[in-house]
Amino acid sequence: MTVRVFLVDDHELFLSGVRGELADRDRFDVAGWATDVDDAVAAIRRLVPDIVLVDVHMPGGGGLSVIRNVTETHPDIRFLALSVSDAPEDVIAMIRAGARGYVTKTIAGDELADALARTADGDAVFSPRLAGFVLDAFAGTLPQPDDPELDQLTPREREVLRQIARGHTYKQVARRLSISVKTVETHVSAVLRKLQLSSRHELARWATDRRIV
């Protein structure tokens, strides 16, 4: 089964280079290409390719705009980001926008074809140096899922903690739990003391850091 590829890059020469490279391979069928964001979005919506190879840095919003616009209407189309930049911000931004992979332009033709094929199959492809960034950033979203400190808290205190972390006032928590404001204060004080914190703001940060909300 051939993979229908769409190319987006503001460099004509690079574009034709990729076209030439893919033309020799039976696996790929270059459905179309574009050199700016608006043309790309329109053409992709019309042609509905299997995968889009998109440059990151382009006038008019860059590859980010292309991915966001297209995925709104066609969430099934896959994106492989291609860039001269190996800056972590760029990589993270593209992945968060929905790109299924990210390779740098130093890549060889064979490798690019391999990356496209793998991405089309549902695999995730990153240039070696980039894979670390993505996984580090992802791992960083949850530092420690275990928490011996939470064991110090009674069930009721944990319940109050959750409510406070959500930003509710003492009064609101009291109503939700059908207890008095004074009881809420007692519980919050106990939690703050046990966790060595000093304010409900620190408490909220503490809770969101370990995803208790």
Partner DNA sequence: GGTCGGATCAGGGTGATCCCCGGTTGTCGG
Partner DNA sequence: CCGACAACCGGGGATCACCCTGATCCGACC
106 or 141: CB nearest a copy of itself: 141
Binding track over 169-198 against a copy of itself, x by CB under 8 A: x-----------------------------
Q: Which of 57, 96, 182, 193 binds a copy of itself (CB under 8 A)?
A: 96
Q: How far apart are CA 178 and CA 167, in angstroms?
A: 18
Cα 39–Cα 84–Cα 93 angle in degrees, nearest 5: 70
Q: How far apart are CA 52 and CA 5, in angstroms?
A: 6
SS3 category, 55:
strand
Are the CB atoms for 54 and 8 separated by under 8 Å?
yes
Radius of gyration for the alpha carbons in the chain, expressed in angstroms and rounded: 25
The token duo for 136 is 């580090």
Smallest gap from Cβ 79 to a copy of itself, in A, equals 10
Q: Which does 84 bind (CB under 5 to 8 A by kind): a copy of itself, DNA, none?
A: none
Segment near a copy of itself (CB under 8 A); pick from 8-16, 28-36, 119-127, 150-158: 119-127
The residue ranges that bind a copy of itself (CB under 8 A) are: 93, 95-100, 118, 121-124, 126-129, 131-132, 134-135, 137-139, 141-142, 145, 166-169, 199-202, 204-205, 208
